[in-house]
Amino acid sequence: MPAPVLAATSAFRHSRAAMSEPVVRVTGLTKRFEETLAVDHVDFSVERGVTAALLGGNGAGKTTTLSMLLGLLLPSEGSVFVLGADMQRDRYRVLPRMNFSSPYVELPHRLTVRENLRVYGALYGVRGVRGRIATLARDLQLAEFLDRKTGNLSAGQKTRVALAKALINEPELLLLDEPTVSLDPDTGDWVRGYLETYRAGTGCTILLASHNMGEVERLCSEVFMMRKGRIVDHGSPEALIDRYGRDTLEEVFLDIARGKPRAAAAQ
């Protein structure tokens, strides 16, 4: 895998005090949609330079939580601090320092890949955006379809373009929803290696949601398990596997999704 050419990031321009603060700090986070309680008084934090996972079955509250971290949804209760900023009051101060990727959020189909990346580069105020696009095209193997309309790409190609969009501003916090969905095993493995190299080279913090438990075991040092809008367990993949008496994180995931208590799960 080619090593990405990485510029010094703004993470290293902050004071030691700021560096010691969690990149993400969530307290009492709650979201209601009329009669539905989607997220129920969630507390967690993610330290700088960590890759963490927010896991749970469909309807567990992962996407709603990520949306509140981005400031796309306002909490019904609780607080979200990202890079030291209160996302309910000061999110515009830190939005240029974060980014996200989701296969469920389509880029404009009529624009080429290059045009899409230029637009997002401008939105994030990226200097030297032409060079940044060239670097991403090389590192994520986009060159052959860089001038193709995004709507004409395969699902796997769209996933790689979405990742390029998420990296256009060299974010300090990267939020990823199913980062390797629709990719064949070889390309998915390559992307996971790229993310590992990016995090190691920049000190970036990554929070991802994924249903690929092998991916989570490889990338993540911290896992937050969600069920019915609440975080019901957390720890490293190894600690969770040991705690539930299982062989893989996928087995732990199934136990939690089915509501089995730890003691019953280990029997």
- Provide the CA 122 distance to its chain's centre, in angstroms: 22
Indicate whether 7 pLDDT > 50. Answer: no
Q: Does residue 73 lie in a domain region?
A: yes
51 confidence band (pLDDT: 50, 70, 90) = very high
Are 73 and 242 contacting, i.e. CB atoms less than 8 angstroms apart? no
Residue 234 lies in a domain: yes
- Decide which of 251 and 4 is more confident: 251
Q: Would you say residue 135 lies in a domain?
A: no
Per-residue pLDDT of 30-48, as tens digits, reads 999 999 999 999 999 999 9
pLDDT digits (tens, 9 = 90+) for 93-112: 999 999 999 888 899 999 99
How far is residue 146 from each of residues 43, 109, 160, measured CA to CA in Å? 41, 13, 11
Residue 129 within any structural domain of the chain: no
Work out the average pLDDT over 207-211: 94
Range of the domain at 226: 15-107+172-266
Residue with tokens 């986070």: 29
Helix (H) or strand (E) holding 153: none
Which amino acid makes up residue 231?
A: I
The answer to whether position 147 is within a domain reads no
- Tell me the average pLDDT of the chain: 90
Q: Residue written as tokens 């105020």? A: 125
Task: Specify the number of domains making up the chain.
Answer: 1
Q: 49: domain CATH number?
A: 3.40.50.300
Helices 113-123 and 155-167, interaxial angle, to 10°?
30
DSSP string for 46-79: E-TT-EEEEE-STTSSHHHHHHHHHTSS--SEEE
